[in-house]
């Protein structure tokens, strides 16, 4: 496994948010952490990246313990994080946003990410190359955020609710682009409450509710498990 999270407990102040959360991601997989709003998805992602450190448990990347390490150290190890608030530089152009994020890859399998490769993956960004980031639509900004993270050549990509608030056609396009990333060998863990999007893109899923993992298994098993979907995903 590339990533192994074992029984982490995370707090905001005195509020206990995550309870013994465990999950794992293997090389080349697309894994989804599914849950309703407020279930603990974002806290899990932030705990993995060290932004909201877990108080106990283990976060291992290639067997190295990262819990307690600062976020920049974790990023340097090969994790790229796309937050749910589409943080871009609004006064810089699309190209400038991408240029700022470039990082020389370490021990990367395959070709490194370049601006040209990002434009091939997201053709709309090529059309908007010289526009300021702040003038893009929500979907285009999400593509730019994802492209900028890829410019750091991460081995593992963490996406926090990548399609939240996006129009259905944009959601469908983003799903196709994520599947293209899988074909390229990119390993992805994403959190989401859009079950249709998750089942279209992921191959394995974890379901979280009230800070606890309630289900883990294949997407096919999740599709067939009506009890889990009704109880924890409101389907």
At 141-176, the pLDDT tens digits run 999 999 999 999 999 999 999 998 888 999 999 999
DSSP structural state of residue 132: B
Q: Are residues 26 and 155 in contact, defined by beta-carbon separation less than 8 angstroms?
A: no
Which CATH fold topology does 1-78+155-235 show?
Rossmann fold (3.40.50)
Tell me the average pLDDT across 25-48: 96
Q: Does residue 191 register a pLDDT over 90?
A: yes
Task: State the pLDDT at residue 235.
Answer: 60
Of the pLDDT bands very low, low, confident and very high (cuts 50, 70, 90), residue 107 is low
Q: What is the pLDDT of residue 234?
A: 78
> How much is the pLDDT for 105?
67
Q: What is the pLDDT of residue 101?
A: 87
List alpha helices for the chain, DSSP H.
41-49, 71-76, 94-100, 115-121, 123-127, 138-150, 168-183, 195-201, 219-224, 226-232
Q: pLDDT-based confidence at 108, cuts 50/70/90?
A: low
pLDDT at residue 109, rounded to an integer: 66
CB 89 within 8 A of CB 133: yes
Calpha distance 191→186 (Å, rounded): 16
Question: What are the backbone dihedrals phi and psi of residue 64, each rounded to the nearest 5 degrees, phi first?
Answer: -95, 130
User: In the structure, what pLDDT confidence band is assigned to residue 103 with cuts at 50, 70 and 90?
Assistant: confident
Question: What is the rounded distance in angstroms from the CA atom of residue 198 to the CA atom of residue 32?
Answer: 6
* Token reading at 3: 């990533």
Of 184, 36, 170, residue with least CA distance to 108: 184
pLDDT category at 102 given cuts 50, 70, 90 is: confident
| Structural domain boundaries in the chain | 1-78+155-235, 87-154
35: nearest Cα among 202, 189, 207: 207
Q: What's the whole-model pTM score?
A: 0.93
Asked if 66 and 224 touch (Cβ cutoff 8 Å), the reply is no
Task: For residue 54, give the nearest of 12, 107, 84 by alpha carbon.
Answer: 12
The yes-or-no verdict on residue 5 having pLDDT over 70 is yes
d(CA 80, CA 156) in angstroms, rounded, equals 6
Q: Which residues contact 232 (CB under 8 A, 6 or more apart)?
A: 35, 36, 39, 207, 209, 214, 215
Please give the Cα distance from 54 to 23 (Å, whole number): 14
Tokens of 134: 């702040």
């Amino acid at each position: 496994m590339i990533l192994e999270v074992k029984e982490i407990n995370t707090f905001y102040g005195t509020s206990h948010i995550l309870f013994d959360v465990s999950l794992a991601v293997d090389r080349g997989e697309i894994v989804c952490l599914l849950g309703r709003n407020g279930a603990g998805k974002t806290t899990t992602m932030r705990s993995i990246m060290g932004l909201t450190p877990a108080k106990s448990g283990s976060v291992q990347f290639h067997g190295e313990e990262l819990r307690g390490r600062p976020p920049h150290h974790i990023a340097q190890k090969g994790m790229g994080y796309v937050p749910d608030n589409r943080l871009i530089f609004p006064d810089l152009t699309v190209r400038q946003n991408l240029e700022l994020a470039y990082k020389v890859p370490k021990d990367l399998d395959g070709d490194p990410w370049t601006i040209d490769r990002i434009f091939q993956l997201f053709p709309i960004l090529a059309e908007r190359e010289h526009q300021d980031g702040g003038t893009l639509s929500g979907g285009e900004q999400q593509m730019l955020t994802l492209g900028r993270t890829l410019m750091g050549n991460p081995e593992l990509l963490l996406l926090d609710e990548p399609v939240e608030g996006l129009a259905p056609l944009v959601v469908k396009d983003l799903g196709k682009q994520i599947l293209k990333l899988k074909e390229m060998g990119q390993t992805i863990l994403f959190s989401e409450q859009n079950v249709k999007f998750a089942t279209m893109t992921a191959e394995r899923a974890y379901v979280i509710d009230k800070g606890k993992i309630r289900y883990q298994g294949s997407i096919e098993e999740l599709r067939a498990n009506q009890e889990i979907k009704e109880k924890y995903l409101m389907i």
